[in-house]
Amino acid sequence: MNYYKRINTNRETTTVESYSHDLPIPGATHIDQTEFDAYIASLPPPINLDYQTRQQAKARAIQAIHNSAGNTPWDKILNDIIIALGWE
C-alpha cells in the first residue's frame, strides 16, 4: 500500500490517501503508514445520524427548495407532512 498526504499553503496536512497502485499522485506527498495512521487516529469520530434525523433533514431541504421558488401547492403539502410527523 502507498500512503500520501496533501498539505495546504500553511504546510498543514489537509487529507491523507492510500492507494494500492504505484502510479504517481499529482499534488500529494508520499508518507509512511505510521504518519497515515496517526492522522486517521486524530480525526473526530464520524457523526451517525439516525434514520429519522436524516429524513427530517431531507424534508427540510426539499421544503427550503420549494419555499425559495415561492408559495406553491407543494409548499403547503410539504409543510403539512412536516407538521403531521412532528418534525417542525
Q: How many domains does the chain have?
A: 2
The answer to whether residues 55 and 78 belong to one domain is: yes
Q: What is the mean pLDDT of the chain?
A: 84
The answer to whether residues 8 and 32 belong to one domain is: yes
The answer to whether residues 13 and 34 belong to one domain is: yes
The answer to whether residues 14 and 36 belong to one domain is: yes
The answer to whether residues 17 and 34 belong to one domain is: yes
The answer to whether residues 59 and 36 belong to one domain is: no
Closest CA to 36 of 4, 79, 78, 6: 4
5, 33 Cβ separation under 8 angstroms: no
Q: Does residue 71 have a pLDDT over 80? A: no
The answer to whether residues 6 and 24 belong to one domain is: yes
Q: What is the pLDDT of residue 46?
A: 78
Q: pTM for the whole thing?
A: 0.54
7, 14 Cβ separation under 8 angstroms: yes
Q: Which residues of 19-52 are buried (b: 16+ CB within 10 A; e: fewer)?
A: eeeeeeeeebeebeeebbeebeeeeeeeeeeeee
Q: Give me the domain span that covers residue 35.
A: 2-42
Q: What is the pLDDT of residue 69?
A: 62
Q: What is the pLDDT of residue 9?
A: 93
